[in-house]
């Protein structure tokens, strides 16, 4: 297998080119009369045509069928899920309302920086599974393989996790049907929906994401009313910030101040898990219609979404739910510990908790659908970069990577491990691998952007000429890379305090160990440089067809169309 991977890595991406000029005019403008602007390179690339052997018809590609509203809502929907609706309970307990709010604001700044970096690269080179592909091209094949496989596996395991949670959400209403039955009931339609053309997937995610947005906006309005006195408790105001207080009880340490600090550090990690998914717009870049316009529109709305949906929700929950509320650790059902539902219960509203539990259920169904989509596209990207068996690069006539979808779907059956007491430990270990994979993806997005900017400078291309220029760069990329790397290192600190715990250590760092094992394997297979030479960084592949493609302007013609355009 290693020999075959070596051969695949050496294969050319295009069989032949007919150029009106030369490669030097494109790749080394500083050595020629060209100034190296993006406009000139765009014109040069438009003159490039590819030819293939008549006996070998070109392989099918995924179809660019995602509309701007699809991409925008997919980017939004990827960040609104169980991490927000249920996951914020832990940082609220450990860090308190103010500590958790500060932690989420800090991690939000990292998420914003990462998406800005991704937006600049994915707009210039809009390829499927963009950031895993960029790692291979901008840093090294071995790092690209390690990042891609770990990220793909994380989404495969998250798919199993979502399936295992669905039954627990329904247990909020009834225990009549066993959890194992719900797993297979939801597995079938979720998998089937990923074999249909991507336009249908985009439409499904658009409407589900719209439900999420409306639910959160409605929740924020509801919370404002409750804080001002519309609930059974009268005006709440900042009551719970005074008693039990703005800071949580902390964790691990006996000293109160030290325990609170460690509780705040742990809330950083929880916040980072919650924000993971903001990078999903990079996965859709290869299937977006007119990505040079679609991707920037989605990226530019990230800041507003972080502030409104995450910071806003956490702020109001901190006002309505004290950090020492016993319901935050409820074992009655998975959804019963959701701070959103607890806030409604504390305010004396009877019907809304059931409605919001239904929203959480729909959210998890949407998340499971996205898990298969993302995992299959990452696997497709690995295959196209010669880092995975070529069978996973197969695309059917609908533009769907059917083999990759089928492979990712099989991981859903691991959800059955969660219903067996003897297998639960193994399932938990597998899930721990998924936790850090998102951090590695963020880290390599920032590192790739640093290399990307260096490569642009080498080729004489001004960032001002790019279709999208990221804000606060290059310092934003260095800022994000440093703190994300720090979080990867410290995220398992509880294994060292108060005493070293071997089991806890491997549980926390198994994904880091797995990453370096994959990296070593592919480093031995390819025998490549530790880091690609800057002059070998490929910023040209997969953008020529975009440079030469013209998409007609489709301005909304009626009020209904303008409404959806503004919303997305």
DSSP characters for 185-246? HHHHHHHHHTSS-HHHHHHHHHHHHHHHHHHHHHHHHHHHHIIIIISTT---TTHHHHTT-S
Q: Assess contact for 215 and 340: CB atoms under 8 A.
A: no
Beta strands in 84-196 (DSSP E): none
Confidence of residue 5 (pLDDT cuts 50, 70, 90): very low
Placement of tokens 């929907």 in the chain: 77
CA 415/CA 459 separation, integer angstroms? 49
**C-alpha torsion 104→107→113→119, nearest 10:** -80
DSSP designation for 253: -
CA 338/CA 342 separation, integer angstroms? 6
- Exposure string (b/e) for 78-88, b if CB count within 10 Å is 16 or more? bbbbbbbbbbb
pLDDT of residue 26: 33
Q: Stretch 277-305: mean pLDDT, rounded?
A: 76
- Mean pLDDT over all residues of the chain? 77
Q: Quick count: other Cβ atoms within 10 Å of Cβ 332?
A: 10
Confidence of residue 53 (pLDDT cuts 50, 70, 90): very low
Q: Is the pLDDT score of 82 beyond 80?
A: no
Q: Assess contact for 100 and 267: CB atoms under 8 A.
A: yes
Specify the higher pLDDT residue, 502 or 78: 502
- Exposure string (b/e) for 372-386, b if CB count within 10 Å is 16 or more? bbbbbbbbbbbbbbb
The 3 state secondary structure assigned to 363-412 is: HHHHHHHHHHHHHHHHHHHHHHCCCCCHHHHCCCCCCCCHHHHHHHHHHH
CA 542/CA 528 separation, integer angstroms? 22
Structural domains in the chain plus CATH codes: 2-54+63-483+491-567 (1.20.1740.10)
124-164 residue pLDDT tens: 888 777 777 888 888 988 998 899 899 888 888 888 888 88
pLDDT of residue 554: 64
pLDDT of residue 36: 47
pLDDT of residue 233: 78
- Exposure string (b/e) for 474-502, b if CB count within 10 Å is 16 or more? bebbebbbebbbebbeebbbbbeeeeeee
- Phi/psi at 17 (5° precision): -130, 145
Q: Is the pLDDT score of 50 beyond 80?
A: no
How many residues does this entry show for the chain?
568
CA 267/CA 107 separation, integer angstroms? 10
Cα–Cα distances (Å) from 263 to 258, 296, 330, 432, in that order, read 8, 36, 20, 20
Q: Quick count: other Cβ atoms within 10 Å of Cβ 239?
A: 14
* Rounded to 5°, angle at Cα 368 from 481 and 440: 15
Specify the higher pLDDT residue, 19 or 359: 359
* Structure tokens, 446: 């920032």
Confidence of residue 481 (pLDDT cuts 50, 70, 90): very high
pLDDT of residue 449: 93
Q: What is the pTM of this model?
A: 0.81
DSSP designation for 288: B
Q: Assess contact for 525 and 5: CB atoms under 8 A.
A: yes
Confidence of residue 550 (pLDDT cuts 50, 70, 90): low
pLDDT of residue 193: 86
Q: Is the pLDDT score of 196 beyond 50?
A: yes
């Amino acid at each position: 297998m290693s020999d075959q991977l070596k051969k695949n890595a050496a294969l050319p991406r295009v069989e032949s080119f007919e150029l009106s000029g030369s490669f030097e005019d494109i790749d080394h403008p500083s050595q020629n009369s060209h100034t190296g602007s993006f406009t000139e390179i765009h014109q040069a690339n438009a003159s490039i045509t590819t030819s293939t052997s008549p006996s070998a018809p070109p392989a099918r590609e995924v179809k660019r069928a995602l509309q701007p509203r699809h991409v925008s809502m997919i980017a939004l929907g990827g960040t609104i899920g169980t991490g927000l609706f249920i996951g914020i309970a832990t940082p609220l307990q450990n860090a308190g309302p103010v500590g958790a709010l500060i932690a989420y604001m800090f991690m939000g700044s990292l998420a914003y920086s990462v998406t800005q970096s991704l937006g600049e690269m994915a707009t210039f080179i809009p390829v499927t599974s963009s950031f895993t592909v960029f790692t291979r091209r901008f840093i090294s094949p071995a790092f690209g393989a390690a990042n891609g496989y770990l990220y793909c596996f994380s989404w495969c395991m998250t798919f199993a996790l979502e399936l295992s949670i669905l039954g627990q959400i329904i247990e909020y209403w009834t225990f009549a049907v066993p959890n194992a039955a719900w797993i297979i009931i939801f597995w079938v339609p979720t998998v089937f929906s990923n074999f249909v053309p991507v336009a249908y997937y985009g439409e499904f995610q658009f409407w589900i994401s719209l439900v999420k947005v409306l639910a959160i906006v409605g929740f924020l309005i509801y919370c404002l009313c409750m804080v001002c006195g519309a609930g059974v408790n009268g005006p709440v105001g900042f009551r719970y910030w005074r008693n039990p207080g703005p800071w949580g009880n902390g964790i691990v340490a006996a000293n109160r101040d030290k325990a609170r600090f460690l509780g705040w550090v742990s809330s950083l990690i929880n916040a980072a898990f919650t924000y993971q998914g903001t990078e999903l717009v990079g996965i859709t870049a290869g299937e977006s219609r007119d990505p040079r316009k679609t991707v920037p529109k989605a990226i530019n709305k990230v800041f507003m979404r972080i502030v409104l949906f995450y910071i806003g929700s956490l702020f109001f929950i901190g006002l309505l739910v004290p950090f020492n509320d016993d319901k935050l650790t409820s074992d009655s059902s998975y959804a019963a510990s959701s701070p959103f539902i607890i806030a409604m219960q504390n305010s004396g509203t009877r019907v809304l908790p059931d409605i919001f539990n239904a929203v959480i259920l729909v959210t998890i169904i949407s998340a499971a659908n996205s898990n298969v989509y993302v995992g299959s596209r990452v696997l497709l990207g690995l295959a196209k970069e010669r880092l995975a068996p070529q069978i996973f690069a197969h695309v059917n006539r609908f533009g769907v990577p059917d083999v990759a979808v089928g492979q990712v779907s099989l991981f859903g059956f691991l959800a059955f491990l969660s219903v067996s007491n003897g297998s639960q430990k193994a399932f938990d270990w597998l899930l721990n691998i998924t936790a850090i994979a998102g951090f590695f993806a963020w880290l390599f997005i920032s590192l790739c952007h640093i290399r990307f900017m260096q490569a642009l400078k080498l080729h004489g291309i001004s960032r001002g000429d790019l279709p999208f220029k990221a804000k606060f760069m290059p310092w934003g990329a260095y800022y994000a890379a440093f703190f994300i790397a720090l979080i990867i290192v410290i995220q398992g600190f509880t294994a060292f305090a108060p005493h070293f715990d071997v089991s806890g250590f491997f549980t926390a760092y198994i994904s880091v160990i797995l990453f370096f094992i994959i990296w070593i394997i592919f480093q031995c297979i390819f025998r490549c440089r530790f880091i690609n030479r800057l002059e070998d960084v490929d910023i040209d592949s997969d953008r020529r067809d975009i440079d030469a493609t013209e998409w007609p302007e489709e301005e909304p013609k009626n009020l209904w169309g303008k409404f959806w355009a503004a919303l997305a």
